[in-house]
Structure 1
Amino acid sequence: MSPVTLGPVPAFDVADPGFRITSDEVHDARERSWYATTPYGIAVLRYEQVNKLLKSPKLRQGSIAWPAHNGVTEGPFADWWASWILNKEGAEHHRLRRLMNPAFSPKLIAALVPRFQALANELIDGFAEPGRCEFVAEFAEPYAARVIAIMLGIPEDEWPVISTESATIGLAMGVTLREDLPKIEAALQRLYAYADALIADRRAHPREDFVTALVNASRAEDGRLSDTELRDGLVLLVFGGFDTTRNQLGLAMQTFMRHPDQWRLLAERPELGGKAVEEVMRVNPTVRWVTREVLDDFEYEGLRLTAGTTVHLYSESAGTDPRAFEPGFDITAERKPHFGFGGGAHHCLGHFVARSDMSEALPLLARRLRDPHELPGAHWLPDSGNTGPVRLPIGFTPAPSPASAPTP
């Protein structure tokens, strides 16, 4: 269904392969209107409206119907998709969130920080050529996959399995979902086998770790996570945690290469790692839009929204809205919250993990990869939905690891 509009507003052809969500076209439209129309519903462009609509009880998570839109209404993938905490609403969503939250506690994640730091240095030490690397294949992809392996307590040398199966499941986000379904469901079954083995192991041999915290999760009013909820949640963590971190690290490098003064500052002040992550995700998030669906007809700022309307909340457009932010990229600035992890009831459950692993990686990269610059051969996912580099060759001036630097 389409919204009922009250006069001419900007219109985006988001199905056009040339459409870019971070383009001047979108930013110019933001100055004329708080929203635009698209073939799929409306696009919300300004910070204030994105902030309010993300939290509105009159909208629900919008991705639940994606498999059905592509003719996939039953089977393992459809069941898994429907199981996502992201796609649950109301009491069931809150129950799952309350049970899972302790596993994502800052205390548990903080204990892994030395591992994240050692991993980042190891990968940089292992670049095939001095002074250059293919950033996705040599750093972002293995870093994201091995962080997941560390969290789950599986051998880190199995990271290619995490990477390969997650990338295959990622085909479900595209318009070829139906034809790719056999590959997607085979990858899903392999990750289910991982999850089942992990659950059985932690029940027999509990540890002070993430998986044990999930296995033991219980509350008097909420009961326990079922076996199905445990395995579905673990597979979602593998897929979502890998894809988001890999893409966001590549986007961070793109952003810092455009702002070399900020890269040098990060190298000098590694304590700014956390703020660097927030600033990158404000101006260059991998999640370009957050999807919601209107539950019942209502009017908002002169626009009548009808039930079933898709609402895309443009996170980059909101994050760079001059009504809310001073222009520029500054990792020392105090900013309003960005929407790179969504917002409202569906705020990303794993945001502590992503914030922690990236805030450790970026300062180490800044210290050791001086004056980075893009080399020919980069290839990018489309600038819509979720994006990031597929390949990102970069050159840099190498600096030694602090551990290997000579003592003065």
Structure 2
Amino acid sequence: MDHVSDVPYLDISDPAFSMHSEAVREARERSWFARTNYGLAVLRYAEVRQLLKNPSLSQGSARWPDHHGVHGGTFHEWWVRNLLVLEGDEHHRIRRLLTPAFTVASARRLEPAFAEVAEELVAGFAGRGHAEFVSEFSEPYAARALCTMMGLPHEDWTFIAEHANTIGLALAVSIRDDIDRIDEAVSALYEYAEKLIADRLAHPSDDIVTRLVHHSEDGDKLSQAELRNALVLMVFGGMDTTRNQLGLILRTYLHDPAQWELIAERPELARPAMEEALRVAPTTTWVTREAAESFEFQGLEIEKGTTVHLFAYASGTDPEVYPDGDTVEVTAERSPHNTFGGGIHHCIGHQIARADMSVALATLTRRLTNVRAAGGDEWLPDSGNTGPIRYPITFDAR
């Protein structure tokens, strides 16, 4: 790789590192990329969009456990075999077999059931004027929306949330400290998934799991192990990201109550409002790729094996594309953000994620007004996957 003396450096492993810092804004102004202690960080919209589809880059998370001292075990076995990190023909085949379960039509069919869950949860605290948003709404909503999608008993939501949260510890640089708990969580979800597959084989139902279990194309079907790995990924990915993202959406509009009121008046704006929050406050603050071969980009020689972080937040507020940066405007025409990734690794579940979060936002704005942070909130580090751990709020019921 060329050494350019003026290229900025960001220490992304520092617990104090923040995507919203002046350091990131200054780095983006100086250069389209920065050096980091984990490879390159791409900061601007145009370069992120191009590199998301660059065939010289592969999904860069496959070696995440090995980079942090985890070289075997149940989590490692699952991680290196799930769709998120697979490449080539194997990735194409499994994605092709999974895709029919995640269509726009599937998402729309689920919206009334998502609305029932959101309404029930808000009704549980709306009358008292205060709530702890994570434990009383975003976590149970994310888990129960997942249960709705997969056709699971809603009483299983606490089991799903507990184990998905534990697997989420694997995305931290401290993964090795928690690997025994993480391995146990994956094992528990393996067992749950295997029982679910057996049940749907014997008793088909109208849900995504049944469609995956019975779907075939030209005689090709997912194997038992591929189904199990996919179901565990659905539980982890659907739970972790939705819970975190809902907290970030709330915080975004808590800072702009006029926009919150506009969504309440015009519920059809919930979808573009959700997209605006994903642009300025994504839970997945960067998308990781790895150079599968050496190549040149924008005059920079990127060597094979280089880790490349595509910063979703920095690109989503790039003033070259979004002149008002972090300001949300739910009626504005925007260029598409990069929060769900892009290229062949574009998030397969994005249609359902968009549906459940839009429904949640529409319900919250319709039922609550004058929403304020009550203090005492706790947040995950502002890098990698971020979001609230605890978020007490006060409000008035409409």
Aligned partners of 1:24, 1:80: CA distance in 2, in Å?
38
The aligned counterpart of 1:38 is 36
Aligned partners of 1:111, 1:209: CA distance in 2, in Å?
11
Aligned partners of 2:156, 2:204: CA distance in 1, in Å?
21
SS in 2 for 1:345: helix
The aligned counterpart of 1:405 is none
The aligned counterpart of 1:135 is 133
Is 1:241 aligned to 2:242, yes or no? no
Contact 1:374–1:392 (CA<8 Å) still a contact in 2? yes
Alignment partner of 1:176 out of 170, 174, 178: 174
Percent identity over the alignment? 52
Alignment partner of 2:290 out of 289, 293, 301: 293
Alpha-carbon offset, residue 127 of structure 1: 1.7
Is 1:255 aligned to 2:263, yes or no? no
Aligned partners of 2:279, 2:100: CA distance in 1, in Å?
27
Alpha-carbon offset, residue 15 of structure 1: 2.2
Listed as ranges, the gaps of 5+ residues in structure 1 are 400-408
Q: Which amino acid aligns with 1:397?
A: D
The aligned counterpart of 1:365 is 364
Segment of structure 1 superposing worse, 321-330 or 127-136: 127-136
| Cα distance per residue 1:307-331 (max 9 Å; x no partner) | 1111111101000111112312111
1:6-405 pair list within 5 angstroms: 6-127=4-125, 130-220=128-218, 223-327=220-324, 328-399=327-398
Segment of structure 1 superposing worse, 202-211 or 126-135: 126-135
Aligned partners of 2:177, 2:309: CA distance in 1, in Å?
26
Aligned partners of 2:337, 2:215: CA distance in 1, in Å?
30
Q: Residues 309 and 382 from structure 1, CA distance in 2 versus in 1: closer, same or farther, beyond 3 angstroms? A: same
| Cα distance per residue 1:346-370 (max 9 Å; x no partner) | 0001111110001111011011110
Alpha-carbon offset, residue 387 of structure 1: 0.1
Alpha-carbon offset, residue 179 of structure 1: 3.2
| Cα distance per residue 1:159-206 (max 9 Å; x no partner) | 110110111111111233223222111111111121111111111111
Segment of structure 1 superposing worse, 167-176 or 259-268: 167-176
Aligned partners of 1:325, 1:264: CA distance in 2, in Å?
23
Segment of structure 1 superposing worse, 69-78 or 305-314: 69-78
Q: Which amino acid aligns with 2:145?
A: V
Q: Which amino acid aligns with 1:318?
A: S
Segment of structure 1 superposing worse, 176-185 or 60-69: 176-185
Aligned partners of 1:181, 1:315: CA distance in 2, in Å?
28
Aligned partners of 2:202, 2:292: CA distance in 1, in Å?
44
Q: Which amino acid aligns with 2:372?
A: H
Alpha-carbon offset, residue 285 of structure 1: 0.3
Aligned partners of 1:33, 1:154: CA distance in 2, in Å?
48
Contact 1:108–1:209 (CA<8 Å) still a contact in 2? no
Segment of structure 1 superposing worse, 192-201 or 261-270: 192-201
Alpha-carbon offset, residue 275 of structure 1: 0.8
SS in 2 for 1:53: helix
Q: Residues 336 and 212 from structure 1, CA distance in 2 versus in 1: closer, same or farther, beyond 3 angstroms? A: same
SS in 1 for 2:393: strand
TM-score where L is the length of structure 2: 0.97
SS in 2 for 1:286: coil
Aligned partners of 1:177, 1:25: CA distance in 2, in Å?
27
Alpha-carbon offset, residue 129 of structure 1: 6.5
Aligned partners of 1:60, 1:275: CA distance in 2, in Å?
30
SS in 2 for 1:323: coil
Alpha-carbon offset, residue 128 of structure 1: 8.1
Aligned partners of 1:150, 1:386: CA distance in 2, in Å?
24
Give the number of aligned pairs.
396
Contact 2:287–2:310 (CA<8 Å) still a contact in 1? yes
| Cα distance per residue 1:280-311 (max 9 Å; x no partner) | 10111000000011112211112111111111
SS in 2 for 1:223: coil
Q: Which amino acid aligns with 1:355?
A: R
RMSD, aligned CA: 1.3
Contact 2:58–2:87 (CA<8 Å) still a contact in 1? yes
SS in 1 for 2:80: helix
Contact 2:126–2:397 (CA<8 Å) still a contact in 1? no
Alpha-carbon offset, residue 6 of structure 1: 3.2
Alpha-carbon offset, residue 254 of structure 1: 0.6
Q: Which amino acid aligns with 2:260?
A: W
